[in-house]
Amino acid sequence: MKSKKLLSLLLALAMVMSMAACGAKTNEPPATSDTPSETGAPATEELNWPTKEITLIQPWSLGGGPDVITRQIASYSDKILGVPMIVENHTGGSGTIGMNDFLEAEDDGYTLFCCNGPLFSLTPSFIDVDYTIDDISPICGIRITEFVILSNASSKITNIQELKDYAAAGHTVKYATTGGPGNDSYTMISALFALLDIPCEAVPYDGGQEAINALVGGHVDIAIGSPPTYRDYVINGQLNCLGTFIPEGLDVEGIGHIASFKEQGIDVEFTGMDYLAVRSSVDPRIQEKLREFVLEVYADPEFQAFMAGMGMKAWDSDAAEILSMIDSQTEAMSQYIPLVQ
């Protein structure tokens, strides 16, 4: 009898303990996405970007190739990102003024920069700069910069030999360029004239379009430019293409093949590029969203037609390809810089 009572007490005690345990579990707060993980790290917050206007700093002048293309890209922002993107031209100092203004902006993803390779591969050899490649993160390429040397059709200079003959007749060749030492166009055309041993005088302009306009107007003998600035003038017969620094030559819609200087026996070549960048400390998720935006723009048939109309294609390179190209540029520039110093 006593054993049965003892057994009953034990069973009752077990039931009480079980109910208490269940009650304790019921009172625990449910797990949520805000609960820290086992490692103590908080869960990732939802990205709320963009919520306001985005600024794209353009270090080159109005009307040049980079300016025209970035303004076209920016025009898609309202439709794709839901906020406007405004292009501001901060020119001067071979791009360094724009770069400094860009790096002083908040690293919240609301400031983009139109960058190029020479700001790292060339400019620091001529200008003291306060930035390094580690300060930026490339988002996406814009274009390959395809520099061509041009003459005014009325000058009767249609090739490099005729340019050399013109100089040999006692003329000092005046050439238009954008900026001075530290700028890629200045460096490459100056290096070309040094290799050809041609007496010359550089006439700097604020941007590529101004340089081409000076050539069309007969204010200089020679200019350097990329397709968006010269294409229409060549097509209508006002300008001649003497050669390009692109080693394999260049095919421009409406013009045809432009021979490289390499193909003409002159040992000089250069392939430049423009690309979009943000500060390296910007949230990687914002960087990825910006890249997706640019790639969506590039996929639009109307944008592709816009680029084709300028004789160009969009360059959808990623950060790794851009940084690799800057390294290659730095090595190549080491042989041209002594020619212009």
Distance of CA 138 to CAs 54, 55, 62, Å? 17, 16, 23
Token code pair at residue 207? 């941007």
Q: Which tens digits make up the pLDDT trace of 60-73?
A: 988 888 999 999 99
Span 142-179, pLDDT tens digits: 999 999 999 999 998 999 999 999 999 999 999 998 87
Q: Which helix (H) or strand (E) holds 151?
A: strand 148-152
Between residues 53 and 37, which one has the greater pLDDT? 53
Q: Residue 326: which of 97, 103, 98, 115 has the closest Cα?
A: 115
Q: How big is the CA angle at 71 (ends 70 and 73), to the nearest 5 degrees?
A: 60
Residue 28 contacts residue 264 (beta carbons within 8 Å): no
Residue 11 has pLDDT above 80, yes or no: no
Give domain 54-144+272-340's CATH superfamily.
Bordetella uptake gene, domain 1 (3.40.190.150)
What is the C-alpha separation between 242 and 165, in angstroms, rounded?
Answer: 14
Mean pLDDT computed over 201-214? 89
320 backbone dihedrals φ, ψ, rounded to 5°? -60, -45
In angstroms, the CA 91 to CA 185 distance is: 16
Judged against a pLDDT cut of 60, whether residue 54 lies above it is answered with: yes
Rounded-to-integer distance, Cα 52 and Cα 29, Å? 37
Mean pLDDT of 248-273: 94
The residue whose two tokens read 């208490």 is 20
Q: Would you say residue 124 has pLDDT above 90? A: yes
Q: How confident is the model at residue 183 (pLDDT cuts 50, 70, 90)?
A: confident
Q: Which residue has the higher pLDDT, 238 or 4?
A: 238
What's the mean per-residue pLDDT of the chain?
A: 88
Q: How far apart are CA 242 and CA 158, in angstroms?
A: 6
pLDDT at res. 25:
42
283-327 pLDDT, tens digit per residue, is 999 999 999 999 999 999 999 999 998 889 999 999 999 999 999
Which is nearest to 98 in space by CA: 71, 67, 144, 122? Answer: 67
**pLDDT tens for each residue of 16-51:** 444 444 444 444 444 444 444 343 434 457 899 999
% residues pLDDT > 70 (the chain): 87
Question: What whole-number distance in Å separates Cα of residue 32 and Cα of residue 49?
Answer: 23
Give the start-to-end residue ranges of the domains of the chain.
54-144+272-340, 148-258
Domains 54-144+272-340 and 148-258 share a fold: yes
Q: SS3 for 328? A: helix
Please report the pLDDT score of residue 209 as a whole number: 87
- Pick one of 3.40.190.10, 3.40.50.1360, 1.10.1300.10, 3.40.50.2000 as the CATH number of 148-258: 3.40.190.10
Residue 11 neighbours by CB distance under 10 Å:
10
Asked if the model's pLDDT at residue 138 lies above 80, the reply is: yes
From CA 138, how far away is CA 122, in angstroms rounded? Answer: 18
pTM for this model (two decimals): 0.81
The model's confidence at residue 57, banded by pLDDT at 50, 70 and 90, is very high
The mean pLDDT value for 243-260 works out to 94
